[in-house]
Amino acid sequence: MNMTVHQTIIIHQLRVGSVTNSSVLQIGSSGMIKSLSNLYNSGGFTGPAPSAAPGASQQELPLVPLASPTAP
């Protein structure tokens, strides 16, 4: 079955909360979405990364800088 879709899309503002490795953001129509995954060794690494130094501090920090709760 052949289908022709004519559409006009006007977006004044688009906010995307997060994008992950398996996210799909679609605006408009799509006949088929095919998954694609590529893995590249752009640094030319030949082995695993070295272990963390013993006694290294592993503090949990917020991923998003937040204002202090006392700020106005």
In 3D space, the residue among 13, 41, 45 whose CA is nearest the CA of residue 27 turns out to be: 13
Where residue 62 falls among pLDDT bands split at 50, 70, 90? low
Residues 6+ apart with CB under 8 A from 26: 33
The C-alpha atoms of residue 14 and residue 6 are separated, in whole angstroms, by 22
pLDDT in tens, 13-49: 888 887 777 677 777 766 677 777 788 888 888 888 8
Taking a C-beta distance cutoff of 8 angstroms, is the pair 32, 26 a contact? no
